[in-house]
Every structure is written in C-alpha cells, then in structure tokens.
C-alpha cells in the first residue's frame, strides 16, 4: 500500500438521506414501495427513493403524451423554450454544491469531479437554448412556377430518456435540454443506483417554469420501468446510455412499435503512442484517461497501443504517475479517484485482472483491492497490465475500472489494425508530433471521436457517439439536436393551376 497515494476518510457532516419521488404532470408522487441507496464509499444509506411500477410508468407516459398533444410546449416558440432552458442553466449553477455532494455520496466519484460535472452541465443547457431559436429547414423555389417546396422540422414527440449511474447529471444534460429545445415532452428514468440528482433536476425545472407534464420522472429499476418505456406505443423515441447488452434489449423491445432508438453504449478505447510523441504529455493523458471517474467511463482509455521501441520507457512513466494519483475518500477535495460503484462490480474488475495474469499477462502495478482507512472496501488499486495479447478478454471487453492494458506495435498499419480489431468504436486517440501521422490515423480509425495529442476534451458544439457496438445516433451538438426532430416536406401549389386528372366531357 505504500506504493500508492491514499487519502483516508475525512470528517464530514452528511446530509440526511435524500427522499426521492416521481414527477408526473407537475406533481410529486410517492410509491408504496421504496428502495435505498447505500454509499459505496461510506456504507451508509444516502437516499430513499420511490420504487416505480408499470402503473406509475403508464401515468407518466400518458402525461407526456397529453401534454405534447396540447401544444403547450411542442408548439411554443423557440424564444419561449430558450427562455426556460436558460433559467435552468442559471439554477444549475446556483445549486452545484447540493447536487454534487449527493452525486458523490451515491456514485463514489470524487467531489471535485462531481462539482465539475454538475457545473459544466449548465453549458449544455445554454447551447441547447441557442438551438431552440435557430432551428431551420429548407426551401425549394425551383420546382416550377406554380410550385413551392418547404422542408420543416417538427419535434419527434414523446421521448423516453434512460440514463446510467456513472455520470447521472451530465448525461441527463446531454439529452434532456436538446429534447426540450426541439419541443418534445419526456419521461426520464435515471439509474436506480444514482437517482437523486435527476429528481433535483426536476425541482429546478419546476422552479424555472417548465409547464407541467413536459418533463416527467419515474424512479425504479429496468424491470419494469425501463422495459415499459422502451415498448410503450405512445413513446416515439428512446434515448439510452448504458451497456451494450442492455442497448440490444432496448432495440429488440422497441421493434414492435418501430420507434426511434438512440444508443450511447460501451467502449474499449485505444490510444496509440508513437515514437515521436511528447511522452510526458501522453503519459499524463493516459493516466487521466484510465483513472478518471474510477475508470467507470465509456470513454475510458482502457488500452494503449505503444510502439515497441518506447514501450518500456512509456509504461514506466505511466506507472510512476499512477503511484502519485490520489485515491481515497471521495468527499476529500484533493481526491482524484474514488470508490467502485458496487461491491459486485469490484469483484468483476478483479476477475478480469486475475484471469489476464493467469493467461500470461504481467502486472506492472496494482491488481488488487485497495484498503482506505475509515471507508468501505469498495476501492480498487491503480492497475497497469503488460504482456497483453489482443485475444485476451481484458484487451477486448469493457472492464469499467481503473485498469490499463498495454499492447505494442511495430508499424502504423499494425497499430490501426489493433485499434479497429474491436466490437466497439466509441473513441480513439493518437500521440505524434507529425500532423500527417495524426491525419492518417484520424481517417482510418473506426471511432465516433478521434483525439490527437489530447484525451477526453469535449464541447457542446461537437457531436458525441460511437460506431459498431458502441451505439447509434449522436448526442449534443447540432447533430444530437437533430435526433429529436422529424423532417416534414410541405409541397404547395401556388394558385389554382393544377391540371385535372379526370377529364370532363366536352
């Protein structure tokens, strides 16, 4: 344990457990049954939430459907929608600390990251507000002197938003404001592991003046809530972030109604390290990429592909930096890596590591649970694994933990082949001082996002999403906004010059 930097438990006055309820048609609704969330770092109950069933889910969908059909939001002006979204952004910034603390208690992520996630989400709402006022279509004035064609964009309708536990507030803000900007009404189901920040968002929406029934929230589990939201005939679209396995189930369930499905799923994201790279910057970015959010991130840089001539030196740099990363109490502002979300997931991570070692891989660092004085046992050591072959499960499957695997290459063709030899295609990166190398890689890498000489920089203007089994559709940016719109063509004849089809008797 002396090889790692560990922040032990600090004293903190915990808030009383958050009481979460459903939000339906503008009213807070309780359920006969509830479920608790135990903090992964403290081992204490930090929230008690209403447990939704099919009846509550039905009520929420009905509220969203009826509200959409009234036009109170779907036919509101872009200015009206944008005004509400901008108010929400201001309210988010005014409530960062309260929301961030609850998110840290439920997820185990460091409070510094929770604050950044919640505060940064306001920018997504402001960008979505700008899109609400700038939606445009096309006009076609070259169809003949008696014809005019106009292409308009309508809100798709009722949207089910199903969000994960790892970035509950941020990912909600990648979806919800864009759906609202388009004029949709929604039903949100957050993960049962981290439900509270979504309820807090509901409070802000009410305070901002969003009409009742536009945003509805149902708490609970995938069965029955998520399943019903994926299959209901009155839901026009499902947008889901989570595992690829669940994404496939949602696609299957939605097929009976042919509703639109947008999926942001898993990743096994590579970074290629070239011999001419700035190795210090690359090593720091790799270290950040694998430990950020405890490695529980779809964009985690969980595998690196290093040129064999620099592999030994580069791994040594990453190991040295890994020993300095501050693991421990998530409520300590100095902590960089917190707790694993559940004890079961901690075991799953360790199984991947031990299986790799049994198959011939080498532990350069870590590879075991991490003891943090005064806290639970849901922590895992910073782990770096070398001598990994491309066929090993740890090199191909999403571990979702603070575990980095190292592969090597000789030629750029070999590196790109290793990058693309994956079921996933969410993101990829390359480190080189040669712009031609970077551009070639960017063109050939099969990924929705390619970073060059950086990692995990993102902006509301840029679309996010993957290819292959990393998902379908895009989030944020103008492309993410377009996901919530339907294209409609208006074909208009000018005057009364349409020639008759049925000839009258002479």
Residue 475: which CATH number? 3.40.605.10
Q: Is residue 34 part of a domain?
A: yes
Same-domain status, 77 and 188: yes
Residues 108 and 189 in one domain: yes
Classify the phi-psi angles of 336: left when phi > 0, otherwise alpha if psi is within -120 to 50, otherwise beta: alpha
Omega cis (within 30) before 21: no
Q: Say whether both 218 and 317 belong to one domain.
A: no
The answer on 233 and 197 residing in a single domain is yes
* Residue pLDDT, tens place only, 443-483: 999 999 999 999 999 999 999 999 999 999 999 999 999 99
Q: Is 438 annotated in the active site?
A: no
Position 506 confidence tier, pLDDT thresholds 50, 70, 90: low
Q: What is the pLDDT of residue 36?
A: 98
Is 373 in the same domain as 389?
Answer: yes
**Tell me: the pLDDT tens digits for 310-324?**
999 999 999 999 999
Percent of the chain at pLDDT > 90 equals 96
Q: If you average pLDDT over residues 270-290, what whole number do you get?
A: 98
Question: Does 496 fall in a domain?
Answer: no
Catalytic: 397? Answer: no
For 355, the domain range is 270-452
Q: Residues of 217-245 as b/e, b for ≥16 C-beta within 10 angstroms?
A: bbbbebeebbbbbbbbebbbbbbbbbebe
For residue 463, being part of any structural domain is answered with: no
Q: Which pLDDT belongs to residue 495?
A: 82
Q: pLDDT (tens digit, 9 = 90+) per residue, 325-365? A: 999 999 999 999 999 999 999 999 999 999 999 999 999 99
Is 313 found in the same domain as 222? no
pLDDT at residue 1 greater than cutoff 50? no
Same domain, 174 and 261: yes
Note whether 355 and 297 are same-domain residues: yes
| In a shared domain, residues 248 and 349 | no
- 72 and 135 together in one domain: yes
Q: Where are the beta strands (DSSP E) in 125-171?
A: 138-140, 147-155, 158-162
497-503 mean pLDDT: 82
* 50 in any annotated domain: yes
CATH (domain of 329): 3.40.309.10
| Residue 362: predicted pLDDT | 98
Reported confidence tier of residue 503, pLDDT bands at 50, 70, 90: confident
Q: Are 48 and 20 in contact (CB under 8 A)?
A: yes
Domain membership of residue 4 (yes or no) is: no
Catalytic residue among 298, 398, 438, 483: 298
Within a domain: 506: no
What pLDDT score was predicted for residue 2? 57
* Active-site annotation holder among 103, 117, 192, 264: 264
Predicted pLDDT at 429 = 98
Q: What are the residues facing 28 on neighbouring strands? A: 23
Q: For the chain, how many structural domains are there in total?
A: 2
d(CA 7, CA 326): 6
Q: pLDDT band for 500, please (50, 70, 90 cuts).
A: confident
Instruction: Give yes or no: residues 379 and 398 share one domain.
Output: yes
On whether both 258 and 319 belong to a single domain, the answer is no
Does residue 1 lie in a domain region?
Answer: no
Q: Is the pLDDT of residue 155 over 80?
A: yes
Give the C-alpha distances (Å, rounded to integers) separating 496 from 143, 146, 147, 150, 493.
16, 9, 11, 19, 7
Which residues, in sequence order, are bridge partners of residue 50? 34
Is 7 within the bounds of a domain?
no
């Amino acid at each position: 344990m002396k090889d790692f930097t560990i922040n032990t438990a600090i004293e903190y006055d915990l808030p009383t457990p958050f009481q979460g309820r459903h939000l339906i048609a503008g009213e807070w609704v309780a359920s006969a049954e509830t479920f608790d969330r135990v903090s992964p770092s403290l081992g204490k109950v930090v929230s008690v939430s209403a447990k939704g069933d099919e009846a509550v889910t039905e009520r929420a969908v009905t509220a969203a459907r009826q509200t959409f059909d009234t036009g109170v939001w779907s036919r509101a002006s872009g200015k009206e929608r944008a005004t509400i979204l901008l108010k929400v952004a201001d309210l988010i910034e005014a409530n960062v600390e309260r929301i961030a603390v609850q998110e840290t208690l439920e997820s185990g992520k460091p409070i510094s990251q929770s604050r950044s996630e919640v505060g940064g989400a306001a920018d997504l709402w402001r960008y979505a507000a700008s899109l609400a006022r700038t939606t445009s279509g096309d006009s076609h004035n070259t169809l003949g002197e008696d014809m005019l064609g106009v292409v308009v964009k309508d809100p798709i309708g009722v949207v089910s938003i199903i969000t994960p536990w790892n970035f509950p507030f941020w990912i909600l803000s990648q979806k919800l404001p864009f759906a609202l900007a388009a004029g949709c009404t929604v039903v949100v189901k957050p993960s049962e592991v981290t439900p509270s920040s979504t309820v807090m968002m509901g409070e802000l929406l009410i305070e901002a003046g969003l009409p009742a029934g536009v945003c509805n929230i149902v708490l609970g589990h995938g069965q029955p809530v998520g399943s019903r939201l994926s299959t209901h005939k009155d839901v026009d679209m499902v947008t889901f972030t989570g595992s690829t396995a669940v994404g496939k189930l949602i696609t299957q369930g939605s097929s009976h109604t042919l509703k639109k499905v947008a999926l942001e799923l898993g990743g096994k994201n590579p970074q290629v390290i070239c011999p001419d790279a700035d190795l210090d910057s690359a090593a720091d970015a790799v270290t950040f990429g694998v430990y950020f959010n405890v490695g529980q991130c779809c964009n985690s840089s969980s595998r690196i592909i290093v040129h064999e001539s620099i592999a030994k030196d580069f791994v040594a740099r990453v190991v040295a930096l890994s020993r300095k990363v501050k693991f421990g109490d998530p409520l300590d502002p100095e902590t960089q890596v917190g707790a694993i979300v559940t004890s079961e997931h901690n075991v799953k991570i360790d199984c991947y590591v031990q299986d790799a070692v049994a198959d011939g891989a080498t532990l350069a660092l870590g590879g075991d649970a991490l003891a943090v004085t005064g806290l639970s046992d849901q922590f895992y050591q910073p782990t770096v694994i070398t001598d990994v072959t491309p066929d090993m499960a740890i090199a191909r499957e999403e571990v979702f933990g603070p575990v980095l695997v190292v592969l090597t290459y000789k030629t750029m063709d070999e590196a790109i082949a290793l990058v693309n030899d994956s079921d996933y295609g969410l993101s990829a990166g390359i480190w080189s001082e040669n712009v031609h190398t970077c551009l070639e890689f960017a063109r050939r890498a099969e990924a929705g996002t390619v970073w060059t000489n950086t990692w995990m920089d993102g902006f509301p203007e840029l679309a996010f999403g993957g290819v292959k089994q990393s998902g379908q559709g895009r989030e944020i940016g103008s492309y993410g906004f377009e996901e919530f719109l339907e294209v409609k063509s208006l074909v208009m004849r000018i005057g009364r010059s349409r020639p008759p089809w049925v000839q009258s008797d002479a």
